Amino acid sequence: MISFRNFSLCLFLLICLISSNSDAYRILVIGPINSKSHSNIYESVAKALILKGHRVDVISHFELKNPPKNYTKVVNLDGSLKAMVNTWTLEIVESFRDIDLVPAMIEEFGNNLCDLMGLEKMQKFIKNPPRDPPYDLVIAEAFVANCYFGFGHLYKVPVVMLSALPQIVWFDDILGNPMSNAYTVHMETKDARIVTFWDRVTNHFWALYGNYRFYRSTEEYQTNAMRKYLSPDVPNVRELEKKTALLLVNAYQSFFGIRPLTPAVIPIAGIHVELSEAKLSPELKVWMDESTHGVVFFTLGSMVIIEDFPKEILLGLYGAFAKLAPIRVLMKIVNEEKLPPGLPKNVLTMSWIPQIPVLRHKNTKVFMTHGGLNSAQEGLYFAVPMIGFPLFGDQPLNIRLLADKNVAYEMDYRDITEKSVNNALRAVLYDPKYQEAAKRESQLFRDRPMNATDTAVFWIEYIIRNGANSLRSPSMDMPWWKAELVDVYLFFFISILLISYIIFLILMKISCLIRSILNPNSQNHRKKD
């Protein structure tokens, strides 16, 4: 027989178990872009939610290694788009380097992604979603394919936007966030400094023009796609954007500068670093540990293949790296056979390198990077000074911002020679300002009330508990001219003109009266005439 004491203990444990899961939610995370760097961000948010006991279903192009118990890949989009990992040649980079970003983003990562909802496996999921339990919230990647916000309408739950990039200009309009074009540099502007009057004119013009083109190019197509693939009663995509509850953005004030944010904009930069489970292989760990003179880590991220660069650029790197010995170089090369002969003996190449544990290692002294946002944040997080070779997209802005803080040495990859790389390496390795700046900015980047992981989870749970409108700005229900007080300023201007005119008339009357009093003869003379 079970004693009363044992029965009570079992009952207590059962109650604790039930109560511990009573606040667990089921959340759908949608990542339609087949970019590994974007995937790292929404997978990190999914991990953060799972660690808090929530159940997460994911639609994406990538498989999570060692997925946790509450993680379910409900739709695998792998193979539905042209692969981007380790496929970008120098020719592709050059074609993206000087293009107009907004149309390019819409063409590559916008309207076309909405058609993924028409895939058979997506339609099967859309028509037969899980109902035991149903979803409490949808997290959809926010970039230029905002058609995926329609899943919130379909399942009657709040939508949280998740941006793997810094805050793009149309997010401000969507969330009613205060405009800060006078001092906040936008990726579309392709500059990192606002100093002169014309800088402000240019920055503001491209922000407004970018908004206009985004709205004009996406509204009809994405609205029609949602009504075709999700439900005929889905509202206009512009209405759905205004109904979103929150934006989690891969940015932080110490990196991108101070700007006003509504409570619905939550910076979570660094979350992928905090939740990374990547480890050094035993062989790489031994090599890193033995590199007591220091390691220079060189990679251009998950997309671009370095070995496709011109031979003269690669030989310039060879010459500079050889002069570094006994300092070692760790270099990501997908296909070593494509490299020209003569690779220096102090260089180790690998087709895949776990960036975070390498940057965390005490012997890593310099990070040579393309300046992708995740890579830049990783170098910043671990206080590793950088040499930046920005290629396209947001990378020039990221590197310029870090260079202005003396965390990075900025170079143009087209100017790579043995001499230029050697000068850059000597500057970053031996000028103390780079190491000091990296330590200072790393401290600023990490110093927060809550880490990025807890911040993301708290505000997602907050929306589920309190509703989609709990952080809604009143300006979201106002036309732009009201929110920006254009009518008020116009009223002030007209009032000042009217008051000035009335004062002018009064002064003219007074002036005439004074002249008539002081010179009455002139008045009499006029009468005689």
Q: What is the DSSP letter of 442?
A: H
pLDDT at position 409 is 95
What is the percentage of the chain residues whose pLDDT exceeds 90?
57
Does the pLDDT at position 17 exceed 70?
Answer: no
pLDDT at position 529 is 54
- Extract the tokens encoding 164: 């793997």
In this prediction, residues 92-106 reach a mean pLDDT of 77
Q: Which is more confidently placed, 393 or 434?
A: 434
pLDDT at position 306 is 86
Q: Which is more confidently placed, 17 or 355?
A: 355
State how far the Cα of 299 lies from the Cα of 368, in Å rounded to an integer: 6
Does the pLDDT at position 273 exceed 60?
Answer: yes
pLDDT at position 220 is 94
pLDDT at position 68 is 84
The total of other beta-carbon atoms located within 10 Å of residue 167's CB is: 24
State how far the Cα of 385 lies from the Cα of 507, in Å rounded to an integer: 67
pLDDT at position 527 is 52
- Which has the minimum average pLDDT: 74-83, 236-245, 322-331, 415-424? 74-83
Contact 407, 441 (CB under 8 A): yes
Could you tell me the pLDDT band of residue 310, with boundaries at 50, 70 and 90? confident
Mean pLDDT across the chain: 88
In this prediction, residues 60-69 reach a mean pLDDT of 85
Angle between helices 197-229 and 120-127 (to 10 degrees): 80
Contact 192, 214 (CB under 8 A): no
